[in-house]
Structure 1
Amino acid sequence: MKNISHARITKVVVFLVAIICLTGIARALIDLEYNRVQLSDVNTDSYFESQSFAKENYGLFHTLTELIGTYKSEAYILSGKALTKADSRVIEDELYNEYYYSNEYDHDLKEADNKRIFKEEYADKIKRKKEERMRMQVREFYQLVERLETYEGIIYYASDGEHVFSNSEMNKKEQFETYDAYMLVGDYQQKMYPSKVAKSHYYDYFTPTVDQLNSQTDAIYVAFTDAFLQKKIQEWETDKAEAKRLLNESIAFLVGLIVSFIYLMIVIGRTSFKDKDIHFHVIDKLYNDLNVAIVVCLLSMWFVMIVEVFREIYLLLTVPIFIIALLLILSLVKHIKNKTILSHTLIYQIFKKVFLAIKHVFDSGSLAVKTVLLVIGYPIVVAATFFMFPITIGLAAWLALKKVKSFNRIKEGVEHIKNGDLQHRIEIDGKGEFSQLAGNINRITEGLNKSVDSEIKSERLKTELITNVSHDIRTPLTSIITYVDLLKIENDPEKIAEYVDVLDQKSKRLKHLTDDLFEAAKASSGSMPVQLERIDIVSLLTQGIGEMDEKIEASALEFKFAHPTEKVYVKADGKLLWRSIENLFSNIFKYAQPASRVYIDVEDLGNEIRVTLKNISAYELNISADELMERFKRGDESRSSQGSGLGLSIAESLIYNQRGKFLVQVDGDLFKVMIYLPKFLNE
């Protein structure tokens, strides 16, 4: 228990470490985003080589280039010179599409004629559209001019030889070269100082802008004041240090997250490293596809809220969201380990239930329901899989052929059985109608086999019964006839008395056989009246053993009686039950090994009571228990004993009439009888 407790505590601690690391990474990334810190600047030695410097000055160069290269002035724009061929083509194409779908377009004319008519009829619209575009360019022109006023600490001069945009009186590049940092473009030259600017990886930020200028007439001069540079360099170095700190934190948290997550993946679902079983909890009952959807929604919601709204309270949102998300992810890991990642999905379960429902209908449903499903379902399947129609047809043909083969197998099997081959079995795979029909036919065949076997056994028993009865009755009857003949010729009184004694014994023996035969017939027919009542089985057996004390002493048998200490009552007929037990005792006295032990056990089995009688047979029991239960069957095949062979049969029938069970077991010379009687319960 201590090991399990330690393992749980370790898991919780590592889980919290993972959450802390995950939260730390999120905080570092959010700070990088909101502070506009460039991670690329961490490995940059100079501000002039940095991405920050390139981004800050790209806007200025782009604005100046647009002013002198495209717009120039309001008058220049309104004259239409700022409109490029591309602008005019876009306007004309837009209006031509409108003309093409109108009623004015004549589809019978050639395209060239339609375009000529279009230019004539749409000349005013084209002119108005161009004027709208020029007014828009004027607005863009003044927006760019206003943007220039936002740049402080930067001195600029831009001219195309006619139009000038500047925030100082300097117009010579030599004047700009007196500053510690400048960028000069013009006269087919590009000069930047310090030289680190040109060596920067981000130099191409300026190249597209410069390429738009006319090298003969256009010039752009930019210089940075010392105060501006000092401020920017100081801000950049501060941001660089912050970026380096956040990057180091992110790496440390990432390593911690990877290590803790790997550990959790290994131990999750197990109580220890030696535990092979996966243990699931309430959260693991969530279907895996819903699990993934919830994780994606949580992370998306967190990202949107952090970026758009709640950056100041991100910790309040991040920690609970990350805890839930990590628990769900670890639940997925459990199912991956348990190989239930696909089977424990809602989609899989829905398809499985639909499939099982259809399969159940086809396995055990009525033919009418199946026919309706086929008529309705097959066209739907064909429509849904029209792109693979040949495969659908092939599958349907294969299923039909399989059913036809099953039908033919049943037909051939019925032919075999009809021709008398009752051992033939029809083997059909699956659980459909054909399989059920084949199973029913096989059971009918088994029933016929049992009936035939029973009839054969019955005929054999009748033959043996006649033989045994004839033998057992003929022996005393022959003796009676013989001694009667002797009496006729005998005159000696002593001899006559002796013959009369023999006749008395044989006649009683014959009467006993006749009475047993009558009782056996009556017991097996079930015509005996049965009065069920509460019987104390222990007292009944104790009394019976006491009444047979003389026979026990004469046989030298030792009876061992084991029973519960409390009273045990059975629901039985007292007279019939005693007759059954008396027959068993009589059987023991006749066939038990002299001077051996006899065991009688009474056991309470809950709803019934079991009485067991065991003894060692004096004769070799080379026959089965079933044969011993047959009428007139004796343990001694020589039939030299005085028994009739009906005792066990009578006892069995009487017990069955009292709703009990009677079983015989033979193990070598051990003879064992078990009687099961219903227990008397207070109702």
Structure 2
Amino acid sequence: MGTKLKNFSRNTFTKFIAFLIVAIMISMAVIQLMQVDWEGYNIEPLLVETYEESNTFANELERTFRRIYSNFNNNEETLIENENLIYYITDGKETITNREEFNREDFIHYSNYFYEYNQGNFESDSSSINKRFTLWFGQDITMYIAFNDGYMKEKQEDWNDANHILRDQAIEFSIYMVIAIILIIYLINVTGKKQNKEELQTTWIDRLYSEILVALFILPIIAMFIYVLDNYYYYTHILRTPSIQGSGLYLVGIVTTICALLSGVGLLALVRKIKKRNFIKGFILYVICWNTMDFVKSLFDGRRYAKYPLTKNLHKRQLAFIIGSGILILLTIMFIHTPLVIFPPLLELVLIYWYVKYNNKTYDEINKGINESLEEQMKSERMKIELITNVSHDLKNPLTSIISYVDLLSKETDLSDTAKDYVKILAKKSDRLKNIVSDLFDLAKSNSGDINLNLETIDMRMLIEQTLLDMEDSIEDLGQIKMKSPDTPIEIVSDGNKLYRVIQNVLDNAFKYSLKGTRIFIEIEEKNGMGIATIKNTSSYEIDFTADEILQRFNRGDKARTEDGSGLGLSIAESFTHVSGGIFKVEIDGDMFKVVISFPLARK
């Protein structure tokens, strides 16, 4: 059960749905806040239980006091008409009131909401209102205000209604945010984890620099904040139509969702970087500083020469020379006006002598090692060539006997059908073995340089046409060959027999490995004093090797093909081209296989 739950929580679809829900919940929470503000709700009823204890009432009370005092101070005899309150103000000389027959005790007993300002002091039955008031109208002013009980009761009922509405809104907002926070925690926990895989999995976005991911996380939040504020001002101050405000909320929701998704992508990528412990290392500034420091350090620590003792000695000597020369230059500057100035240059000459002398010894040791390595390599190569040559030669005689006896067996008339099939297989395999031995022998001779050459002037175009004519049966099995060549001869200097073998091997390779139904293109041209033959074909398999790899001995491009060929055809063609004075080059472009054979043009 635990494994199933873990796999479900790490499922890509599950994470995607959770990610989408987070964006929607955040969007709904923002819409909720804007709707409360656009509809003019005062959030204080959610925080204060009674209207009398609220800042809203305190502000109303203060405005009332100031309005009464303003009328009195400006000698305005117009009474403030308000059936919800009674008031009285006097400075001992002048008095304004809307209840002529009321004294202070009448004000107190008029309602439960009596407020007094008496010669610089404010008094009421509410301690919270007393704390908030700092009215100052002078020491000689006395004011009484009493609000009607019915008025205050009506205000309290409105206050309670607002409290119920805001409480519902707050609960809804809290639900959105709690769901979003829980899912964010879940996504942070499972990001980078996949089913049945404990190792942290990363994506292409994780390879971005940390600065970009931080920007991806922060900028959408800033953009969302700016957009919400802009829309708030526009819809509350310019457009006051409820239907238009409603459409504005939908737009805010869409923009908020998009910004939340982008920000979430950046956040989760940063979390994966932190889990991978490469958050700091992912900053481009860190990479630049680290690489700069590492480069400077590499100039002095000699790490690149760790495997080469002689070169490492040269490096250490070089550092010693640079440091020593630097110190001597400083000493020269310090002693420039003293007799001691002669000593640093003399020491510099000694340092130079030491540096050159021991460097020359190291160079001699390096040259000696290179020569020994080359000699050993040449000796090893000669031994391989001799081994191949001797083995090829020794195999020829028994192989000839095998082929002869197989031929005799094939002529027997009293063999069973099964035996005849066996003889056919033996004939085919022995013939293939004969070709391999022959190819090995030719390759060994060409690599050793022990090969007879008959250099002559040859028409490259005619040689290729003759080769195609001799391989007519293979061409019929394959399909169409497209040849492009000039009308005039292209005369080159080469060994005709060797070049014939080169062209034959390259064409044979193209016949075997070309995609069925495609053409083989042959182009012959003169360029920069060279006669060039280019043979192109489309491979029947995916080319997953390099040009150097296919020219290695016994290497086949199509690993699935085991019957035809020895893997030596192109190696022999390359070797014969080189010994004949030409250039053999393989080029690969997608599944296009191209061989370029170049020879110097004959002098006329």
Q: Based on CA coordinates, which of the two structures has the bigger radius of gyration?
A: 1
**TM-score, normalised by the number of residues in structure 1:** 0.43
